[in-house]
Amino acid sequence: MDKLELLQELEKLVAGNGLDADEIRLCLLLLTNCKGSRNGEIEYRTVKSAIGREFSLEKLKRSCRRLFMYKLIALTSPFPDGTNEENFIISYMVFPAREN
């Protein structure tokens, strides 16, 4: 996986006002967390700690949908059924950079 190409794609979306600040932070966090492979797992509490306590489960779901819409990140496991979950594992895949 070429992380530089993916960051360049992210830069284009930022320049075009496609993503908000929390979505950009989440994408960068997930990208750096996957450690060279296209697949990763991260705890929700780690995401909240890195992005901010105000980053609710609903914001996480919305951000993940938007990152998927822009073909940056896809979840590989569903969110937990209960919305009161304090911590759970987020499994995801980073899409390869698109050809120009």
Q: pLDDT for 12-61, tens place per residue?
A: 666 556 788 889 889 889 988 887 778 999 999 999 999 988 888 899 99
Strand order in the sheet with 73-75: 39-43, 89-94, 73-75
Sketch out the chain's domains with CATH numbers.
3-94 (1.10.10)
- Mean pLDDT on 87-94: 92
Per-chain mean pLDDT for the chain: 81
Taking the C-alpha atoms of residue 22 and residue 25, their distance in angstroms, rounded to an integer, is 5
